[in-house]
């Protein structure tokens, strides 16, 4: 049995599975945050093995059955992801990476392929802690960022070291038009993951750059607001009474545009300098 604690307020999800699936569970996308320490759980997943099939149940209700353990793990990961996102109902969920340095949180907001995962890996190697590389979960009242550090999901074109990629679980993934192999890399390979919420200090809007160095430029509130709402997963939170929360966010946080080439190609001194500037932002 393993446990995963997420949400605001925190709640625990428990997984029970046959012994032969232990390695797959431990290498699932939540590997960095699962724990063997027993805790009272509000959702309980159970995987049963009967005949040649596996049965996935959520709180006693059958949700999936399949012969392939990989497909059952995949279904479990999606369900847990949904549980996790539902457990932050009143919080904004941005398409963003969240990282912290000495309890100062930064969001790196951007489209797919803008560099969220890459900058997360590079900054973790420089001592930053990962909150999330995909879902930046922000409470608009307290301006706290919540950790949700699932594994990095690395597509074939991603610039991370190929040898590193090959060391981790490679899963077939259907993009809709073709099948690709994606690698799940635990964030702990690069550094620490955050376990507690941190106060947001700065927001960086990532934009891929062909240049050989990065550039950071301050953004005005109007542009920052327009960019933020484009990357919000749950825009239905925009209600009359939440506008004040947004203004609180705009008035208390610094916003920047970060033009970023592939951060793995930056010289170590440039990476250090980038890290320092991001901290001071």
Partner 1 sequence: MPGIDNKFRPIANDNVLFKPLSDGAILFEPDSEVVHTLNPSAAFIWIHCDGNHTISDITTLIKNNFTEFEMQPEDAVNSIIKEFRKLGLVSSE
Chain residues in the site for partner 1 (CB under 8 A)? 220-223, 225-226, 229, 236, 238-240, 243, 246-247, 250
Q: How far is the CB of 223 from partner 1 (least distance, A)?
A: 8
Nearer to partner 1 among residue 18 and residue 220 (C-beta): 220
Min CB(244)–partner 1 separation in Å: 8
Instruction: Give start and end residues of each alpha helix (H) in 115-169.
Output: 116-125, 162-167
Rounded Cα gap, residues 111 and 114, in angstroms: 5
Q: Which is nearer to partner 1, 52 or 241 (CB)?
A: 241
**Least CB distance to partner 1 at residue 243 (A):** 6
By C-beta, is 208 or 225 nearer to partner 1? 225
Asked whether the beta carbons of 54 and 193 are under 8 A apart, the reply is no
Judged by CB, which is closer to partner 1: 102, or 239? Answer: 239
Cis peptide before 184 (omega within 30 of 0): no
Q: Is 170 helix (H, G, I), strand (E, B) or coil?
A: strand
Question: Residue 109: beta bridge partners?
Answer: 96, 205
Q: Based on CB atoms, which residue is closest to partner 1, 174 or 222?
A: 222
Distance (Å) of CA 67 to CA 55, 56, 64 = 9, 11, 10
Strand partners, 20: none
CB nearer to partner 1: give 61 or 236. 236
Task: Output the smallest distance, CB 203 to partner 1, in A.
Answer: 15
Q: CB of 225: closest distance to partner 1 in angstroms?
A: 6
Tokens linked to 44: 């309980």
Least Å from the CB of residue 251 to partner 1:
8
| Integer CA distances (angstroms), 281 to 16, 187, 204, 216, 222, in order | 44, 24, 9, 9, 19
């Amino acid at each position: 049995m393993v446990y995963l604690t997420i949400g605001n307020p925190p709640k625990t999800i428990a997984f029970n599975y046959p012994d032969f699936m232990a390695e797959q569970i431990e290498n699932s996308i939540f590997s960095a945050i699962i724990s063997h320490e027993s805790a009272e759980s509000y959702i309980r997943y159970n995987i049963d093995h009967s005949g040649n099939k596996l049965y996935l149940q959520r709180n006693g209700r059958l949700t999936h059955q399949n012969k392939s353990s990989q497909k059952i793990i995949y279904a479990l990961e999606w369900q847990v992801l949904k549980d996790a996102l539902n457990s932050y109902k009143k919080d904004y969920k941005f398409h963003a990476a969240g990282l912290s340095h000495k309890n100062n949180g930064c969001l790196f907001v951007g489209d797919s392929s803008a560099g969220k995962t890459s900058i997360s890996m590079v900054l973790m190697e420089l001592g930053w802690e990962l909150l999330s590389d995909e879902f930046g979960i922000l409470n608009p009242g307290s301006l706290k960022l919540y950790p949700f550090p699932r594994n990095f999901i690395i597509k074939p074109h991603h610039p991370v070291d190929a040898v590193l990629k090959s060391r981790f679980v490679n899963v077939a993934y259907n993009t809709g038009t073709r099948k690709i192999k994606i690698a799940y890399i635990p964030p702990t390979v690069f550094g620490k993951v955050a376990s507690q919420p941190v106060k947001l200090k700065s927001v960086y809007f990532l934009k891929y750059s062909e240049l050989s160095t990065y550039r950071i430029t301050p953004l005005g509130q109007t542009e920052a607001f327009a960019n933020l709402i484009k990357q919000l997963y749950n825009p239905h939170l925009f209600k009359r009474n939440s506008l004040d929360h947004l203004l609180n966010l705009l008035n208390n946080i610094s916003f920047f545009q970060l033009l970023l080439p592939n951060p793995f190609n930056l010289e170590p001194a440039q990476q250090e300098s980038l890290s320092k500037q991001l901290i001071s932002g």
